[in-house]
């Protein structure tokens, strides 16, 4: 995964490509301008291209890429972020991480206790079933039926 600046540069390059492509396609599809007393046969026989569809498509692409650029810019650290502020933020994140780790350890411990209780209960059930089968020797076991 690329860092934020590389992602931002890629998004800006993509935006520039989209602008160039949009201008090129719109110029290609645009109807010829009429000049006084000059008749041109260029593009007279070509069918009308859906310039409105192209305009909508490029507008949507450019708008989405511009939003991506805005999101990437907003995710960059601000100039007001000094080393002291960053260190304080890192300390706070570290404290939150330690608290979350302690909660996780507690949950894992309780889960282990619960697992042990369940295993003991299953062992008791299995022993009870074995005693029941051994107590009634005339009854067929499930494997024999």
Residues sharing a CB contact under 8 Å with residue 40, sequence separation 6 or more, in sequence order:
32
- 62 and 19 in contact (C-beta within 8 Å)? yes
**Which residues, in sequence order, are bridge partners of residue 38?**
35
pLDDT digits (tens, 9 = 90+) for 33-69: 776 666 555 545 545 556 788 888 999 999 999 999 9
Q: Is the pTM of this model over 0.95?
A: no
First-to-last alpha carbon distance for the chain, in angstroms, is 61
Residues of the chain with pLDDT under 50: 43, 46
């Amino acid at each position: 995964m690329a860092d934020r600046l590389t992602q931002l540069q890629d998004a800006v390059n993509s935006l520039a490509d989209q602008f160039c492509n949009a201008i090129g396609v719109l110029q290609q599809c645009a109807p010829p301008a009429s000049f006084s007393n000059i008749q041109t046969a260029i593009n007279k026989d070509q069918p009308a291209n859906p310039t409105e569809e192209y305009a909508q498509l490029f507008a949507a692409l450019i708008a989405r890429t511009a939003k991506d650029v805005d999101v990437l810019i907003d995710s960059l650290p601000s100039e007001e972020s000094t080393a002291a502020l960053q260190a304080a933020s890192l300390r706070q994140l570290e404290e939150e991480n330690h608290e979350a780790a302690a909660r996780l350890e507690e949950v894992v411990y309780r889960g282990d206790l619960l697992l042990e209780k369940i295993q003991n209960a299953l062992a008791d059930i299995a022993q009870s079933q074995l005693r029941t089968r051994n107590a009634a020797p005339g009854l067929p076991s499930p494997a024999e039926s």
